């Protein structure tokens, strides 16, 4: 199988990913990622996929607390690329969530995570408590055909007051509508926080909501 993987071209991988994200249901997507897990890291290397590193660098540049004590929720963690970068930058406490058991199996083998949980974002109840994490990061999943924009509320709610939510999305033309919806959701949440009284307790400490870090760049797919 590794021999077959070695002859996969950029076009092969690109077309496979695009086809998996178009007109397929949630279970089809999970099956795709379960199958892809074995070749995932070498394929994304061929695609020059830099989002995990960029997100880790962004978090490191903004976070001013004790890295060793910070608890990080790695959402759509895949095989652990983001947490691996963060580990090299001094962080060490990671909890991972992903919809694919195949990806989680490989993430488990890295030894990076204190805990790993399977969850279909946008469908299953989010398996974590509110206001638990210093940093919540989601890389590679916030785009058309993948995770619904509404998931942003859950990410916000599980972040400690004063914590950080770091997310990436694609700047490609085919993702512009999704990106616009994501930006609208962020503005709506900020307005809710600004005008929040007792009726909208998104966070009890309204003066110190999570900071949202957004990275957007054109991807090669």
Two structure tokens written together for 141: 């999943």
Instruction: Mark whether 41 and 68 lie in a shared domain.
Output: no
Q: What is the pLDDT of residues 158-195, one digit of tens each?
A: 999 889 999 998 888 888 899 999 999 988 988 887 76
Instruction: Mark whether 66 and 7 lie in a shared domain.
Output: no
Q: Can you give the pLDDT at residue 152? A: 92
Instruction: Mark whether 209 and 107 lie in a shared domain.
Output: yes
Instruction: Mark whether 70 and 27 lie in a shared domain.
Output: no
Beta bridge partners, 115, equal: 95
Instruction: Mark whether 42 and 55 lie in a shared domain.
Output: no
Instruction: Mark whether 82 and 145 lie in a shared domain.
Output: yes
Tell me how many domains the chain contains.
2
Instruction: Mark whether 119 and 208 lie in a shared domain.
Output: yes
* Average pLDDT rounded to a whole number, residues 79-86: 97
CB atoms closer than 10 angstroms to residue 199:
7
Q: What is the pLDDT of residues 47-78, one digit of tens each?
A: 778 899 999 999 999 999 999 999 999 999 99
Instruction: Mark whether 40 and 137 lie in a shared domain.
Output: no
Length in residues, the chain:
221
Q: Can you give the pLDDT at residue 197? A: 45
Instruction: Mark whether 81 and 25 lie in a shared domain.
Output: no
Q: Can you give the pLDDT at residue 101? A: 94
CB atoms closer than 10 angstroms to residue 119:
17
Domain, as residue range, for 8? 2-46
Q: What's the pLDDT band for 5 if we cut at 50, 70, 90?
A: very low
Q: What is the pLDDT of residues 101-130, one digit of tens each?
A: 999 999 999 999 999 999 999 999 999 999
Q: Can you give the pLDDT at residue 114? A: 98
Element (H, E) at 77: none
| CATH code of the domain in which 192 resides | 3.40.50.150
């Amino acid at each position: 199988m590794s021999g077959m993987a070695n002859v996969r071209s950029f076009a092969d991988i690109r077309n496979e990913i695009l086809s998996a994200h178009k007109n397929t249901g949630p279970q089809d997507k999970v099956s795709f990622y379960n199958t892809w897990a074995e070749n995932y890291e070498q394929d994304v290397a061929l695609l020059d996929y830099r989002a995990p590193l960029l997100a880790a660098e962004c978090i490191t540049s903004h976070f001013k607390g004790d890295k060793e004590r910070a608890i990080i929720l790695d959402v759509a963690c895949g095989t652990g690329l983001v947490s691996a970068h963060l580990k090299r930058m001094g962080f060490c406490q990671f909890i991972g969530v992903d919809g694919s058991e195949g990806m989680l199996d490989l993430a488990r083998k890295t030894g990076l995570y204190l805990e790993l949980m399977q969850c279909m974002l946008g469908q299953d109840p989010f398996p974590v408590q509110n206001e638990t994490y210093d940093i919540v990061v989601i890389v590679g999943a916030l785009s058309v055909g993948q995770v619904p924009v509404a998931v942003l509320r859950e990410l916000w709610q599980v972040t400690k007051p004063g914590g950080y939510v770091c997310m990436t999305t694609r700047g490609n033309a085919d993702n512009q509508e999704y990106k616009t919806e994501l930006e609208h959701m962020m503005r709506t949440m900020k307005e809710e926080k600004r005008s929040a009284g007792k009726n909208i307790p998104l966070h009890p400490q309204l003066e110190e909501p999570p900071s949202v870090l957004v990275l957007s760049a054109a991807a090669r797919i």
